[in-house]
């Protein structure tokens, strides 16, 4: 058991290293420091200007270790600064990225956590209903609704949501954020609502398939033959059995809650990590983007490793490889 856990962690660490190497190639080899500099200071910049930019932003070093610079090269600096969670400073305004991420994590979580759980609740409940009343008009309405909801870009939901709920009905503020508990709810209600609306379509479709698959299984037929009521079958048999794919889905999504939603945060003025990313994009701030991708994947890998371990402990059927 212990050796399995250790091996699982080691594999996770390997994946994180893989991500770092990938990021290095992405940001330094595919787009060399010269490219990054040129994109920042303009296509027609003189070589001197590019050199100065590289010096100012710490890119004036060889890419890989070599004689005379085994330690002082971009690869080693990139790996150490990430692995020690130093993360460096922003290419755009020189503020430590760590500080920026610490500031942004709260607002991002405040939006993404309620959004996620509400969406989960709504989609599971609705798809349970659909499975229960399968092949009725309700099923068809929900299906049409979910295909519609998937086919509209979230951008239109944001514009429409602000107009309808902020301007016409005046239920919620148009945009903004405040971390004090009394105001938090007020500001988050609309983005959460819009977020749920935009993503619930595809979730309903997914969970509907999961439930329908369970409904057609043998044990359900057996239960029905025994005379169990349809409602009881749903709640006592289908739901618990569908829990495994649902939970797997949930666990996979949790690490991404941290990185926030780019469009919702930008559209509603929530100063989280998603908005930070949008700003980094606008400012060609590669160092911040790099750090964001690294942190995101680190959390994801950690989440996965922990789930795997939890599975082996909880479910004896999962074999230890």
Partner 1 sequence: MRADGQTVLFARRPNLRGEESAQRGLLPVLLGTLIAAVLALGCTNRPYADEESHEPILYVPYGEPPKTLDPAVAYSTADHVVTGKVYDTLLDYHYLKRPFELIGGLAEHVPEAEPLEGGRVRYQFRLREDLRFARDACFEEGPKDPARFTEDGARRVLATDFLFSLSRVADPAVGSPVVEPLSHIDGLVAWGERLAARRKNDAEFAKRRVSQQYQEIGALSGFEVLSDREFAITLHSPYPQILYWFAMPFTTPMAFEAVDYYTGEGGRPSLDEHAVGTGPFVLKRYDKRARIVLEKNPDWYGVRHPEWRAPAATFPSLEGVTGLSAANIEDFAPLAGRSLPMLTRIEMRREEETIPTFGKFMQGYYDTSGIARESFNRVVHEGGLSAEMAERGMRLEKSVVPAVFYLGFNMDDPVVGSAAGERSRLLRQAMSLVTNSEEYCRLFLNGRGLPAQSPLPPGLFGYEEDYKNPYRTLNFEEARRLLAQAGYPGGIDPKTKRPLKLTFDVADTSPESRVRFLFWTNQWRKLGINVELSATNYNKFQEKVRDGAYQIFQWGWVADYPDPENFLFLLTGPMARSASGGPNTANFSDPEFDALFGTMKTMENTEERLEVIRKMRAILERERPWIELFHPEEYALAHGWLRGVKPAGLSIATTKYYGVDAVAREQARREWNRPILWPAWVFLALLAGLIGPLIGRYLKERT
Partner 2 sequence: MSEFFSPGPVRDALTSSVIALTVLLLAVIAIIKVRKDEPLAAGFAEVYRRRRFSIAVLVLYCFVALLDSIAWVGGGSVSEGDLVSAHEARSVIDRVFSRPRERGYSAPLADKEFYEGSPLAARHVLGTNVLGEDVLYLTLKGARVALLIGAVTSLITIPLALFFGVLAGYFGGRLDDIIFFIMSTLASMPGVLLLVALVMALGQGTLSVCIALGVTSWVGFARLTRGETMKLRQVDYVLAARSLGVRPARIILRHIIPNLLHLIVITFVLLFSGLVLSEATLSWLGIGVGGSWGQMIAQAKDELSRDPLIWWNVVPAGVALFALLLCLNLVGDALRDVLDPRTRRLRA
Exactly one of 12, 33, 88, 173 binds partner 1 (CB under 8 A); that residue is 173
**Interaction of residue 239 with partner 1, rule CB under 8 A:** no
**Span interacting with partner 2, options 12-20, 62-70, 97-105, 172-180, rule CB under 8 A:** 12-20
**287-291 long-range CB contacts below 8 Å, 24 or more apart?**
287/57, 287/87, 287/88, 287/89, 287/90, 287/91, 287/97, 288/90, 288/91, 288/92, 288/97, 288/100, 289/27, 290/23, 290/27, 290/78, 290/82, 291/82, 291/87, 291/88, 291/97, 291/101
- What count of Cα atoms within 13 Å lies in the side-chain half-sphere of residue 207? 32
Exactly one of 4, 70, 85, 133 binds partner 1 (CB under 8 A); that residue is 133
**Cβ partners under 8 Å of residue 55, min gap 6:** none
By beta-carbon proximity to partner 2, the closer residue of 184 and 283 is 283
**Span interacting with partner 1, options 58-66, 246-254, 279-287, 309-317, rule CB under 8 A:** 279-287
Residue pair 313/20 in contact by the 8 Å Cβ criterion: no
Site string for partner 2, 75-114 (x = CB under 8 A): ----------------------------------------
Q: Which residue has the tokens 């795997």?
A: 308
Tokens of 285: 């701030």
Tokens of 313: 């402990």
**Interaction of residue 284 with partner 2, rule CB under 8 A:** yes
- Cα angle 250, 116, 238 (rounded to 5 degrees) comes to 50
For the segment 112-151, give every residue that binds partner 2 (CB under 8 A): 147-148, 150-151
By beta-carbon proximity to partner 2, the closer residue of 71 and 321 is 321
Rule CB under 8 A: which residues touch partner 1? Answer: 40-46, 49, 52-53, 92-93, 103, 125, 129, 133, 136, 138, 141, 159, 162, 166-178, 180, 182-183, 185-187, 189, 219, 223, 226, 228-232, 235, 266-267, 269, 271, 275-276, 279, 282-284
């Amino acid at each position: 058991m212990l050796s399995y856990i250790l091996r699982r962690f080691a594999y996770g660490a390997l994946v994180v290293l893989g991500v770092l190497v990938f990021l290095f190639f992405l940001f330094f080899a595919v787009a060399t420091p010269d490219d990054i500099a040129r994109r920042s200071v303009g296509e027609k910049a003189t070589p001197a200007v590019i050199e100065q930019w590289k010096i100012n932003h710490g890119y004036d070093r060889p890419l890989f270790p070599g004689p005379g610079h085994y330690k002082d090269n971009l690869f080693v600096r990139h790996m150490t600064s990430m692995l020690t969670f130093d993360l460096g400073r922003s290419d755009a305004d020189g503020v430590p990225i760590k500080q920026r991420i610490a500031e942004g994590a709260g607002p991002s979580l405040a939006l993404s956590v309620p959004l996620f759980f509400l969406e989960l609740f709504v989609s599971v409940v609705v798809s349970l209903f659909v499975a229960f009343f399968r092949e009725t008009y309700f099923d068809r309405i929900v299906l049409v609704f979910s295909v519609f909801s998937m086919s509209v870009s979230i951008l239109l939901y944001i514009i429409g949501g602000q107009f309808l709920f902020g301007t016409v009905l005046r239920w919620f503020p148009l945009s903004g954020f405040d971390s004090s508990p009394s105001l938090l709810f007020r500001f988050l209600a609309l983005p959460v609502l819009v977020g749920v609306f935009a993503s619930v379509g595809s979730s309903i479709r997914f969970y509907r398939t999961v439930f329908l698959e369970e409904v057609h299984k043998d044990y359900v037929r057996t239960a029905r033959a025994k005379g169990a009521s349809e409602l009881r079958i749903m709640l006592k048999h289908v739901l618990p059995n569908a829990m495994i794919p649902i939970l797997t889905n949930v666990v996979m999504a949790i690490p991404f809650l941290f990185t926030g939603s780019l469009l919702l945060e930008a559209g509603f003025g929530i100063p989280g990590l998603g908005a930070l990313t949008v700003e980094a994009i606008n400012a060609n701030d590669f160092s911040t983007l790099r750090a964001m991708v690294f942190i995101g994947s680190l959390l994801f890998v950690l989440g996965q490793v922990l789930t795997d371990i939890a599975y082996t402990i909880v479910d004896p059927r999962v074999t230890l490889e």
